[in-house]
Chains A and B, each alone.
Chain A
């Protein structure tokens, strides 16, 4: 086997992007039904790294890691209100808030963003996948950067519903 054959291998350790199977097995990823009921945290954390700020950031006790700090975060989809406090707290920028029922046609994705310039409310931007491919246009609904987010902005963006499982961020804006 050549080393390059791994280029076609799936999974976070080969591509830097969690595979469908890894996402399906992640205890932080909520069910399809829950995402269709409204805002919910989607924690795409699939490697057991010693890290737990998300657990402490949730005021509703919806995220559990437990005593073993390398456990994957588990989301309690009933308790999660989609408030978004965990989004900025995750040092890995691995959490988004997904709402597949924003309106008849659109879903929303709230994602962490640490580049300047920041987008502005109402801007039309390029919405990108986990691989950075531009999939569709996104409409900026809000940009929040309170002190408690410690420098990370959280951007809320509306996108066509069919892209809600794929879009996770936006393309950097030119300086």
Chain B
């Protein structure tokens, strides 16, 4: 097996991984970023809408433009980016198994940053296996990356930001969206995203779910029904639509396989997508030298993924001696304050509390571990 070495190896070239690479490489470290796609950028290149946030986070700039700018910075930083390459294993000795163009590599790095992102949740209902039922993220990749319209008449399930934004983008691409169905009694995403959908004449059915999809060979129609307070369908409230596509935007969950494999300890935080790795304020997990950043630490958004990537990159090279304590501290303080801003307001407050819990649980774990070690 061919062997590759690096000071810092990063899994995933999305917002988090690229920022980590930029920070580590500009500090002077030898950095290797590995991503399974043919093009770096992760989710960013699918985001054709203008981002929210502040000037520092390029608010008002479209996601793919942020991605292009980030990519250029990374190229200039000297980090190596290995594309079309899958990290299939991460052993407790921290060696990484990578397959690239049919060639097997073992990657040995002093520090590892896992920025693998998240994957879409699935939902089962009668007809859910028919061709034409797909994840909203998959539909977004089809229209915005591959320029293929998945269908002409579409029903969206889920009113979080992903469901709202992808509905809008499907209409921009020329499809008709017949409605958005949301199980909860209220819309999950930003009101302004919902507003765009409503102005386009699309109804949002809160307190409704999908009952079944029908069709012979593929999706031909869908039936939805209202829910009572216990989330049971209310008979007689069914509505049917003729559609050729049903998109599911029912949440994401962190891509934690490699994190489990290397032996990290986990927390369970439902709002973050389920099991998420414990990490400290430096983004370091319970396995020394293994860091995490972005959606893999709990599903949030691109801006916070970038900042967590910055944090992990700075902390990893500080530990390797490429930055002095003071230099690193200054950078970390700036990153921390930007993260706090992102995790504020009606939508961000909950994420801030969850993040604080995750880091506090890590501290508790360290205490217990220390006690156990003291007893030995």
Q: Which A residues are closer than 8 A to B by beta carbons?
A: 1-7, 12-18, 44-53, 56-57, 68-70, 89-94, 114-116, 128-133, 150-152, 168-169, 171-172, 175
Contact = CB atoms under 8 A, between A and B. Distances in A.
A132 B202 contact: yes
16 contacts: A3-B208, A4-B208, A4-B226, A4-B234, A6-B206, A15-B204, A16-B204, A50-B54, A51-B54, A53-B50, A57-B60, A69-B53, A69-B341, A129-B199, A130-B199, A172-B200
B215 interface: no
A30 to B, nearest CB: 19
A91 B55 contact: no
A51 B53 contact: yes
A50 B198 contact: no
A53 B61 CA distance: 10
Given A3-B227, A14-B206, 6 more contacts: A7-B205, A16-B191, A18-B195, A50-B53, A91-B60, A130-B195
B141 to A, nearest CB: 20
Contacts of B196: 92-93
Contacts of B207: 2-7
A3 B55 contact: no
A14 B201 contact: no
B229 to A, nearest CB: 6
Interface size class for chain B?
35 or more
B54 A12 contact: no
B49 A91 contact: yes
A7 B225 CA distance: 13
Interface string B15-55: 00000000000000000000000000000000001111111
Contacts of B204: 15-16
B59 A51 contact: yes
Contact of A53 (B49, B55, B191): B55
B344 interface: yes
Nearest to A115: B172
B198 A132 contact: yes
Contacts of A68: 344
B60 A150 contact: yes
B200 A12 contact: no
Contact of A94 (B51, B171, B192, B348): B192
